[in-house]
Amino acid sequence: MNFLITGSNGFIGFHLVNFLTSKGYKVYGIDNLSSTSKKTQKLRSDILRKKKNFIFYNHDLKKKIKKKLIKKKINCIIHLAAQPGVRFSKLWPNETLENNIKGYINLLDFAKSKNIKNIFYASSSSVYGNSNNFNEKILAGNNLTSVYAVSKLTTELISNVYHRLYKINFVGLRFFTVYGSYGREDMAYYKFLNQIATNKKITIYGKKNFKRSFTSVSDVVLCIYKLLLFFKNKKKFNNIFNIGNPEEISLRTMISTIKLNFPSRFKEVYLKEDLSDVDITKSNMTLFFKKISKIKFMDFDDGYKTFIDWYCRHILKCKK
């Protein structure tokens, strides 16, 4: 089975490529290497370059993908490429929409030209907006707080249309705050360590009682793999699943974990709350557990300690 993974050199893409190639699958990767996480992206790319079952194409999805780019048969596309970042989208809405919507449509047209019928694509918990109900069956979009969320909800709607018109099968993946090694430097769990290492302080928007379903990237990859196996022989499907740890963790708890496990002391600097942020996310995995499989998610305390250890060894180059 051959996979095409867009955003292959991004955070989740990198870990998924590693996982699938270790299982013996052939993986083709597309990435424009434009991540703002420059240091971490280089670490990822250096590792992927050595993979035997991985072939990489440097391509920007904002440009049409030529049919001849990948001559081999592709059985399934896993679309992870995007312009991430809620706050980024507030500053640069046009760039966010062009990357996430135009890029996706170009990918779908490529799939049509290659007669690829199965596409798994990254959505986001942000489509729930400021809501207390995180069930996939509710009508998402009523309380959106960011342009990024709009772009992700739009990809879901586009997928529904392409499923109806062109008989392409889809699985949407609503990710909840993914963290882990080789991650995104703009996310709080990573950014705080960078801030402490450079100027001994962290910047907090609003209050420390915001809560998130922090989800280990290893659990995300496992969920994706279980979905791939479940839908492998299905002829027709168009589904959306939450992918996230059902246990929500407060920002206060995350900062306490840093204080206990990071080798440097730091100060906390408070800034005005950003209106594009949501107060809470809490993944509801009922549908996944019922239809696909039950899994035990990694405890955040254990997962974040592991990340801090990785950061100290690979970024600070020290032994913790």
Q: Which residues are catalytic?
A: 148
In this structure, the chain runs to a length of 320
Q: 300: how many CB neighbours lie within 10 A of its CB?
A: 22
Q: How many CB atoms lie within 10 A of CB 262?
A: 19
Residue labelled with tokens 């929409």? 97
Q: Distances from the Cα of 198 to the Cαs of 40, 103, 156, 205, in angstroms?
A: 16, 35, 40, 19
- In degrees, rounded to 5, the angle at the alpha carbon of residue 177 between the alpha carbons of residues 36 and 275 is 80
Q: Which residue matches tokens 């959306």?
A: 240
Q: Which residue has the tokens 């915001």?
A: 210
β pairing state of 169-175 and 118-124: parallel
Contacts (Cβ under 8 Å, ≥6 apart) of 92: none
The rounded distance, in Å, linking the Cα atoms of 282 and 123 is: 15
Q: Kindly state the DSSP code that residue 274 receives in the 8-state scheme.
A: P
Q: Which amino acid is at 253?
A: T
Q: In this structure, what token pair is assigned to residue 268?
A: 């906390």
Q: CA 184: distance to chain centroid?
A: 9
Q: Which helix (H) or strand (E) holds 303?
A: helix 300-314
CA 85 to chain centre: 10
User: How far does the chain reach from its first CA to its final CA, in angstroms?
Assistant: 41
Give the SS3 label for residue 239. strand
